[in-house]
Amino acid sequence: MEKRAQKTIKKVFSIEGIGLHTGQKSKLTFKPSPANSGIIFIRADIPGAEPIKPEIDNLLDITKFPRRTSIGNEHFKIHTIEHLLSALYSMEIDNVFIEIEGDECPGLDGSSRPFVELLKKAGIKNLSSERDIFAVKEPIYVSDNSAHIVALPSDELKISYILDYPNTFLKSQYASYTMNPEIYEKEIAPARTFCLREEVEALKSLGLGKGSNYKNTLVIDNDKGVIENEFRFKDEPVRHKISDLIGDLALFGNYISAHIIGIKSGHSINTKLVRKLKELYNRERVSGIVTPSPSFDAYGVLYTEEISKIIPHRYPFLFVDRIVELTENKAIGIKDVTINEWFFQGHFPGRPVMPGVIVVEAMAQVGGVLMLSKEENRGKMAYFMSIDNVKFRKAVRPGCQLILQVELVKMKSRVARIQGKAFVDGKIVAEAMFMSTIIDS
């Protein structure tokens, strides 16, 4: 599979408008961001609000917020992000900060085209890091009554969709595209959101569509066709379904190589597929991590007494219980987190959470084992010079088994660059990039 550089935008820009469902005015400000930072939303209108990523773990219940894709937490919500995410994903923007003022992304003309035009105007630039692409290796199928969605192995991202509205003006439509920025911009981005005329009152009764009108939403009458508007494409509705599907796939958090086939699928079933893909992705990332190295003893581990001979840390500041894999360029350690840990006494005692800095320190200690276990470094010291791109994704609580994986990215003289990742139940909870140096003790 072809390797590709991560990308961001070249300059800051803003856009504002009315939300399709809330009818409220909102403003988005886009800012360039460094490699490996991802897409980050920041509620600029809520002082002290923490950043949030448009990823599947932050998805709000679609049964409570239907006909759109929304993310949020206990403090705020951001609605109708699918058109924006579809544009970012398809234009291959990996990293950008988005400050939002308001509860919903602007609806604009009901399509992704305005976002594409602004992204291109701002300029798109390559970054030094490579993009992470997840290749689907086996068929994955999700079904819900008459709606279905399938992910099949493919060397590229291809989207096919079957729309079926029997006994209506729309009837059945089919479209299929191999995605790249050029095809998306020309064939998919201009396609606008739509609904049947008979759905309008039901949607309004649910409090939806307050910002919708005949200009930004194609309202389809069974006899007359589009009301007070006209199609940009004869099959514009099915193309918009593809746009929405891409926006939902963006919740995966990385790029996907697969042939995705949607059959009457909507946000609910689309996101169920994303959850399945994410579970598979996480399993693959940690698969084999408890496989013993043939260089170990019969149990395939180093326990604390052996670890203490390699790194200088001691209780209560030794956060690695055992090492389960140790090779030239990789080490995997385990920390069994119990309620008896000393730091739980004062860190959110009512709802114990392992401090993020200690998770990072635990990764660093496994990194120390990796460096100092080498014969030429025995008896020396490893000092960490810097920590970059630290990300905390999930809380670590008592009862968790923390799996700590570090890999040597680059070694020059006595200076090493190490990638660290921490997992619980196969899901990544934290990661960081470390720079360390070896010195004589």
| Topology alike, domains 5-285 and 302-440 | no
Q: Cα–Cα distance between 202 and 209 in angstroms, integer?
A: 10
Active-site residue numbers? Answer: 267, 347
Query: Cα(408)–Cα(161) distance, rounded to whole angstroms?
Result: 43
Question: Among 3.30.1700.10, 3.40.47.10, 3.40.50.720, 3.30.70.3040, what is the CATH number of 5-285?
Answer: 3.30.1700.10
Other Cβ atoms closer than 10 A to 9: 24
Residue 128 region, left (φ>0) first, then alpha (ψ -120 to 50), else beta?
alpha
pTM for this structure?
Answer: 0.68
Residue-range domain boundaries for the chain: 5-285, 302-440
280-299 pLDDT, tens digit each:
887 776 654 433 333 333 33
- Determine the Cα–Cα distance for residues 87 and 106; give it in Å rounded to an integer: 14
Q: Which residues of the chain are under the pLDDT cut of 70?
A: 1-2, 285-301, 441
* pLDDT for the residue 298: 30
What CATH number was assigned to the domain covering residues 302-440? Answer: 3.10.129.10
Q: What is the pLDDT of residues 316-369, one digit of tens each?
A: 889 998 887 888 888 888 898 888 888 888 777 778 889 999 999 999 999 989
For β-strands 140-144 and 147-152, DSSP reports them as antiparallel
pLDDT of residue 288: 46
